[in-house]
Structure 1
């Protein structure tokens, strides 16, 4: 008998030790008992693609800004005819979303506004995109300028003489408010072009489905591939540095890249090292403002702050170069394949259809790179600076005794942080002998919250909640997250056509391959990946590009044809299946898999070997 529903939020058990977890988050982020009937009528899916781990209280800021701003561009800026924004809640520490459709009787009225607004953008795309980059960089530079200095024991005499009449606390409070506001500003900028990129692609996608009813989704995606994206620039910089190191004969100095300081000192002292170091310094700004995570968590590690990470990637590229491997992306091959597919489909069209096809494909190809490029500017660069400033502030309050660990501010909500700052400046300003209240108030609360967050991490999120609609048609939900009618039924276990031992997902990037699985649940584990393994993860990050050349294929739990994982895998010519729902929790490291990125299936061929250190797969590509 087929299942019709996922569990209700109240049906999910609370992990032991996480009782009362709701108080970790603002009231508007959790399901409310008084709204239970209404909230249970809605279908919610877990966005583990962007938020794969439990939120600490402060970390909800990224989700709040991202999903709110995505929605405003649908519902208030662009007036997309059939799609408003997305409601979102945090449940048991994970983010759940419910798309909001436009009522049928309002769709027609939005069409003229929608057409006028997107026409303005597409007619002025290049100039407005240049302005966008200027706006985003300006915000980043403002973020960089913020400081959170200790307050002076005594106002300087010069301030008395000038009549300044301030004690410095106003700067501390204003800088915190600016920190929050500047992050919000860039998140609003984030979606100005992103939704347009999806719209242009969806318009082309829908037209192709209309004139070529049997065209595979991948063929449509292939017709805009092989582009020079800024998101790939950090990885390209590492490849250039590896090539230069080999050219200069510096390979031996990359033996222990975990010691970044020692490695760089040895390189600087080596013959030819001065030239390499100059190129290294040049690459860092801005391209090392890149995280191995996705920018949404305070624990995400950025290259610029952890130089052992890019050095380790360079060392691996050097190894591959010394083994005569090709490390550059196969851009020429991708472009040739794109041109071949485009030409084949163009030949099937009459003159009128051909004009429409060329126009829509041209628009999609123009807008498509932004779908990934924005990632570097916002999730990586903006959020890298943001989290660096958050850590600076947390360390300052830690020095005043507010919490036991330097990064414990993440266990406060952003509004609680402002209360703590006012507590600090009050205790300082009045000269209270015992200082602020925070050092006796916050440590116990933080410890309780730490235990709750750790307890929530012991359980994986349900992929969805409540009863799904009969048909999922909202375009962004399908394209970005891979939440389709078929996938939801598969998650419910209602896909009778899929044999036992096989997972079904989105055919995200073509190719068929066999190899050993390497299950990666966290970005810190990517160093465990061995040559020729198949990556299995809840989701991949664009910044994992440096390891893609080692892989046979990639498999993820969530993601559609326009997800970051799908786009990046296609640009690296890496077979991929996304949106499987449960690959990372049902597949084990060492199991031999057959990944069919053309059909969207993952077959477990045999069980994992007993040895903990699994050998790399030796299987060649089976079919293109």
Structure 2
């Protein structure tokens, strides 16, 4: 494919080809960092250039280190298996995945109309069984996930002994400590794979039930806004909000116990907990803290896809900072709770008004689709806590333990530097370490890996200096794949917006994700580390938000993101927190500057630059 073509108006009609995009300075040879099957290979150029790829900055907004490719590899594999091999979802198989200059790109795999129609009976049989037995199967799912987490927690990566214990000689064990070490690494990867399979076991069924309601409403009520359909399922109980609810409960308890002065100090941390422990009735509060910590503080400030995400359970400064904000708001007499009663009332009002427009014979169909959508809808968010946050939090913790073990053996300069190896390379380095121990001689890794890790570190830094293209190659005439539209917000209109030369001036258009209007100064946030900079009354503008950012929503007036559809995490969380939101703007985080006053219309899906 040639360089993106431009008509006389200057607007391009296609995105760059990955084969013709030069690497950022200092990132030459970046392809050596990633698995071959995740790259655009020269011999596949004709095939891959014929496909439209969009950047999944909703899940991977920053450059991936080599080991972190386990996220896009396993998630796309497991997404595909449930669409294609388990449930035979009629319109879509899954997505192909590539890494280009450190960023993740997807190509949706649609199903031809005839094949999609042929799938419908079997999909109804298989999905229908899950829908009919949803509660029992979901209870079983939770048991399976908790078992996986316990198995991950049980893994230990410890120093190898000088010699095997004599008792093993007497018992004729015939194995050494590397059996546990190497097997533990294989088990770590296998458990991660298992967790990602569980992730998708129910997920696309939740989307399918919502999509069925969405499409039926489009037929019954031509022109119905997307937000009206979304409002019909809002206000349901979700475990994903439980961590934030626990923070609010702890803030209220601090006020009740007279401890709020200890929890509103600047930069609270471990010393804050020590001060509470010495205070009268402080033990009561700390007991509540410990009860909330397990499991609800297995929550990351990011999204769980990166090894350096900070977790509440490991860094008490994170939850204590949010508790401090809630205590201060309670002091001001503010209500810190979600307005669930109002959300439910609005849900029932909108549902009733549209139901009244139907012929009485059609209303049972609407009620049945609503019951199903409301039953399965919570899983669309709840799985995030159990998989992305809790399971992956344990996975990354164990990965860092193993990396530190090899760091102490001289394999790399930093404790977490195994992240600069792919998981297959890490297995090789681990065997090198084990083999050297077994022989009583020095392994090769301490000579081979340190300079290579430093080379890769420099490349990752260089890749991070350039924002990724939102898409690659020529777009289709129309985007029709429903899951791409709902989850990522990849619509024909959005693609046209990306193609426009919109790096100049002008207002922004995105998806109407959560209703309402708000104006105020913008606060650009590119990573969770910048959340502490958010001030009361600002409008959060980010490439993407994470569910764990919910405690910050009490400070802000609205949210704007670069990517995300009406069923993205940002859209769902903002609706549940009654916060206006526009998602899928494409470039808000780069076109708007911190302090610039903007008007967010979450009902119309527009962002107006006021100055």
Same fold (TM over 0.5): yes
Aligned residue number for residue 584 of structure 2: 579
Question: 2-side partners of 1:259 and 1:83: how far apart?
Answer: 48
Aligned residue number for residue 422 of structure 2: 413
| 1:134-213 → structure 2 map (5 Å cutoff) | 134-213=143-222
Task: Tell me if 1:6 matches 2:15.
Answer: yes
Aligned residue number for residue 437 of structure 1: 444
Q: Deviations over 1:440-478 (max 9, x none)?
A: 110000000000000000000000011111111111000
Task: Tell me if 1:522 matches 2:544.
Answer: no
CA contact (8 A) 1:257 1:311 kept: no
| 1:338-417 → structure 2 map (5 Å cutoff) | 338-417=347-426
Cα shift at 1:500: 5.1
From 589, 607, 610, give the equivalent of 1:605: 610
Cα shift at 1:501: 2.0
From 567, 572, 582, give the equivalent of 2:572: 567
From 320, 342, 365, give the equivalent of 2:329: 320
Cα shift at 1:579: 0.3
Aligned residue number for residue 487 of structure 1: 494
CA contact (8 A) 2:518 2:558 kept: yes
Aligned residue number for residue 510 of structure 1: 515
Q: Deviations over 1:182-206 (max 9, x none)?
A: 0000100110100000000000000
Secondary structure of the 1:352 match is: coil
Question: 2-side partners of 1:430 and 1:506: how far apart?
Answer: 62
Task: Tell me if 1:75 matches 2:84.
Answer: yes
| 1:108-123 → structure 2 map (5 Å cutoff) | 108-123=117-132
Question: 2-side partners of 1:534 and 1:13: how far apart?
Answer: 35
| 1:26-65 → structure 2 map (5 Å cutoff) | 26-65=35-74
Aligned residue number for residue 6 of structure 2: none
From 562, 581, 588, give the equivalent of 2:593: 588
| 1:208-247 → structure 2 map (5 Å cutoff) | 208-247=217-256
Question: 2-side partners of 1:304 and 1:63: how far apart?
Answer: 25
Secondary structure of the 1:351 match is: coil
Cα shift at 1:261: 2.0
Aligned residue number for residue 481 of structure 2: 474
Question: 1-side partners of 2:286 and 2:91: how far apart?
Answer: 53
The more displaced of 101-110 and 304-313 is 101-110
Aligned residue number for residue 5 of structure 2: none
Cα shift at 1:259: 5.2
Cα shift at 1:103: 2.1
Q: Deviations over 1:60-79 (max 9, x none)?
A: 00111111111111111110
Question: 1-side partners of 2:560 and 2:537: how far apart?
Answer: 14
Question: 2-side partners of 1:256 and 1:391: how far apart?
Answer: 32
CA contact (8 A) 2:92 2:111 kept: yes
Q: Over aligned residues, Cα RMSD in angstroms?
A: 1.3
Q: Could you tell me the TM-score, scaled by structure 2's length? A: 0.97
Secondary structure of the 1:328 match is: coil
C-alpha change, 1:257 and 1:72, in structure 2 (3 Å) is farther
Question: 2-side partners of 1:76 and 1:494: how far apart?
Answer: 41
Aligned residue number for residue 616 of structure 1: none
Structure 1's unaligned 5+ residue stretches are 607-624
Question: 2-side partners of 1:128 and 1:255: how far apart?
Answer: 44
Q: Deviations over 1:587-611 (max 9, x none)?
A: 10000000000010111101xxxxx
Question: 2-side partners of 1:371 and 1:261: how far apart?
Answer: 34
Question: 2-side partners of 1:387 and 1:289: how far apart?
Answer: 12
Aligned residue number for residue 460 of structure 2: 453
CA contact (8 A) 1:317 1:327 kept: yes
Question: 2-side partners of 1:412 and 1:241: how far apart?
Answer: 41
Cα shift at 1:260: 2.1
| 1:522-541 → structure 2 map (5 Å cutoff) | 522-541=527-546
Q: Could you tell me the TM-score, scaled by structure 1's length? A: 0.95
Aligned residue number for residue 116 of structure 2: 107
Question: 1-side partners of 2:595 and 2:268: how far apart?
Answer: 30
Secondary structure of the 1:90 match is: strand
How many positions carry a matched residue from both structures? 602
Cα shift at 1:499: 12
Structure 2's unaligned 5+ residue stretches are 1-8
Secondary structure of the 2:518 match is: strand
From 534, 542, 549, give the equivalent of 2:547: 542
CA contact (8 A) 2:62 2:103 kept: yes
Question: 1-side partners of 2:292 and 2:40: how far apart?
Answer: 46
